[in-house]
Amino acid sequence: MNSISICAVFDIGKTNKKLLAFNTHYEKVYEVQVSFEEITDDDGIKGDDLESLSKWIKDEFTKLRNHPEFEIKAVNISAYGASLVHLDIHEKPATPFYNYLKTFSTKLRKSFEKDYNQEGDFFVKTASPDLGMLNSGLQLYWLKYEKPALFEKVKYTFHLPQYCNFLLTGEKYAEKTSIGCHTAIWDFTKKQYHEWLEKENISSIQLPIIDTFHTTLDKTGSFYHGVGIHDSSAALVPYLIAEKDPFILLSTGTWCVTMNPFNDTVLTKKELQNDCLNFISYKGDIVRASRLFSGNEHNRQSKHLADYFHKSEDYYKTVSYDPNLVMRLRQKHKQVMPQDTAVGELIDCPFVERNLNLFQTYEEAYHQFIIDLVAQQMASMRLTYGNKAPSKIYVDGGFAKNKIFMNLLSIACFDKQVYASDLAQASSLGAALVIADKWTQTKFTSEHLPLIAY
């Protein structure tokens, strides 16, 4: 029996860890998924079980290599960011795998501000909001001053995608999409590591920087290893390759992240304060991005509405889009419009201020909630526009399946083409695509994107 040529991708999320394989036509032909119980670190804070994850990656890759139906041509990794793995001189973990949700103390913040942000431009230069431990570089600052004995043991520091690559290859690299995403270590003005790392004598993270599409030939000489890619940047890759016109990608989930790869304007302090930042694309270009906690807000409000109207928690899935109801709501209730307020000021969804007694049915209240959520989303999206807004908007993730959200977004973006994407494996496919020349001759085009026009 002839084996199928594949590209394998480890897609490491915060909750679910997957190993997928794509054939040379970009079709998924293999998938295994696992989740691990979180373990506590030396401060009692829960986080990913690095030992179990590392063992799983090695074991699953060995199984796939020995699978009789497949012939691996390439392998790559997509993994979440803001997480560092520190190894000692023996290339073993030197510290627990700390959760980026840990607290960055006020004392440390003041100390860092005093030394490196007196002029107030540090976070502008590093193109990231002040996010504490979510700025992965500041985790090293935290480690140095909060746990100096452990810090002294650290020889190499990897972002998670590159650590996963190290597990398979032993190679020690840094990669652009990982070091350029709200890390506070990359100086976007000078296009190099920020000087604060040198002043603090922090060298473990300053590994050789290589391109995202860099590959190394496996020791067996039979397939190629990619170096790994940050998952948000990976999700953008299929659209960047297939679409030639300027566009925005709204990637929706717990966080809704708007990404504009066609905005090269200077990031302002005002934009930073409204959770706007820069990514680096797989090509090394700047991607303007903004974030909203919309998925979390939807989860919270849908439960609240279900309780108030005595419905099941997932009742919203049965509610159909009603344009006549939308018209009546806009006539009956005062609406908040993003163009009537300063860009980015809709930090909270306007629906939180509404009195549910004013709505007769769940359907009325839910439609108004989505109207308000879209107004908030538009304010966030506009942060990424720059001098000229792209003419196309792609939406993927959970809200792409919500027809009320999609119809209202399309109305709000009346001068643009709005598409819902059903690309279920965007980040893993993106990781495969950045090294596509090593495993397939099939060109990836817009025909590979499952889109619904609104």
Closest CA to 99 of 116, 113, 85: 85
Say if 155 falls within a structural domain.
Answer: yes
Domain shared by 277 and 222, yes or no: no
- pLDDT of residue 354 exceeding 90, the answer is yes
Say if 396 falls within a structural domain.
Answer: yes
Domain boundary among 159, 194, 227: 227
Domain shared by 398 and 266, yes or no: yes
Domain shared by 272 and 199, yes or no: no
* Tokens 């005093």, residue located: 114
Average pLDDT over residues 401-425: 94
Segments forming the whole domain that contains residue 261: 228-421
Q: Note the Cα 436 to chain centre separation in Å.
A: 21
Say if 446 falls within a structural domain.
Answer: no
Any alpha helices (H) in 310-361, and if so which ranges?
323-332
Q: How far apart are CA 127 and CA 66, in angstroms?
A: 44
- pLDDT band of residue 389 (cuts 50, 70, 90) is confident
Strand partners, 277: 289
| Percent over 90 (pLDDT), the chain | 82
What are the pLDDT digits (tens) for 179-231?
998 999 999 999 999 999 999 999 999 999 999 999 999 999 999 999 999 99
- pLDDT of residue 268 exceeding 90, the answer is no
Domain shared by 206 and 309, yes or no: no
The tokens describing 445, both together, are 């085009």
- pLDDT of residue 145 exceeding 70, the answer is yes
- pLDDT band of residue 338 (cuts 50, 70, 90) is low
- pTM value is 0.89
Q: How far apart are CA 9 and CA 33, in angstroms?
A: 12
User: Among 168-182, 273-287, 425-439, where is mean pLDDT lowest?
Assistant: 273-287
Please tell me the predicted confidence (pLDDT) of residue 424. Answer: 78
Domain boundary among 172, 193, 227: 227
Domain shared by 89 and 172, yes or no: yes
377 vs 1: which has the higher pLDDT:
377
Domain shared by 178 and 235, yes or no: no
Own/partner long-range contacts of 130-133 (Cβ < 8 Å, ≥24 apart): 130/272, 131/182, 132/103, 132/104, 133/82, 133/98, 133/99, 133/100, 133/101, 133/102, 133/103, 133/104
Specify burial of residue 174 (Cβ count, 10 A radius: 0-12, 13-18, 19+): buried
Average pLDDT over residues 35-54: 96
Q: How far apart are CA 287 and CA 263, in angstroms?
A: 7
User: Any residues with CB less than 8 A from the CB of 82 and at least 6 apart, and which?
Assistant: 100, 133, 134, 135, 136, 181, 182, 183
Q: What is the DSSP letter of 82?
A: S
Say if 116 falls within a structural domain.
Answer: yes
What are the pLDDT digits (tens) for 45-90?
999 999 999 999 999 999 999 999 999 999 999 999 899 999 999 9
Domain boundary among 212, 227, 242: 227
Q: Contact 173/162 with Cβ under 8 angstroms? A: yes
Domain shared by 81 and 174, yes or no: yes
Element (H, E) at 140: helix 136-146
Helix, strand and coil content of the chain, in percent to the nearest 5, comes to: 40, 20, 40
Say if 338 falls within a structural domain.
Answer: yes
Q: How far apart are CA 346 and CA 82, in angstroms?
A: 26
- pLDDT of residue 352 exceeding 80, the answer is yes
Q: How far apart are CA 163 and CA 26, in angstroms?
A: 26
Whichever domain contains 45, its CATH number is 3.30.420.40
Say if 189 falls within a structural domain.
Answer: yes
Domain count, the chain: 2
Domain shared by 54 and 80, yes or no: yes
Phi, psi of 230 (to 5 degrees): -65, 135
Domain shared by 269 and 319, yes or no: yes
Mean predicted lDDT score pLDDT of the chain? 93
Please tell me the predicted confidence (pLDDT) of residue 10. Answer: 98
Looking at residue 70, its amino acid is: F
**Residue 426 to residues 72, 237, 239, 371: CA-CA distances in angstroms?**
20, 8, 9, 27
Say if 142 falls within a structural domain.
Answer: yes
What spatial distance separates the first Cα and last Cα of the chain, rounded to whole Å? 45
In the Cβ-directed half-sphere of 140, how many Cα atoms lie within 13 Å? Answer: 28
Please tell me the predicted confidence (pLDDT) of residue 225. Answer: 98
- pLDDT of residue 343 exceeding 50, the answer is no
Domain shared by 275 and 406, yes or no: yes
Domain shared by 286 and 346, yes or no: yes
What are the pLDDT digits (tens) for 159-169?
999 999 999 99
> How many CB atoms lie under 10 A from the CB of residue 424?
11
* Tokens 């909060």, residue located: 146
**Residue 363 to residues 46, 91, 302, 324, 404: CA-CA distances in angstroms?**
39, 57, 11, 12, 11
Average pLDDT over residues 41-45: 96
Domain shared by 337 and 407, yes or no: yes
The tokens describing 440, both together, are 């397939």
DSSP assignment of 253-277 = SSSEEEEETT--SPPPHHHHHTTEE
- pLDDT of residue 271 exceeding 90, the answer is no
- pLDDT band of residue 99 (cuts 50, 70, 90) is very high
- pLDDT band of residue 253 (cuts 50, 70, 90) is confident
Q: How far apart are CA 125 and CA 190, in angstroms?
A: 9
Say if 451 falls within a structural domain.
Answer: no
Phi, psi of 278 (to 5 degrees): -110, 140
- pLDDT band of residue 266 (cuts 50, 70, 90) is confident
DSSP assignment of 221-242 = SSSEEE--EEHHHHHHHHHHHH
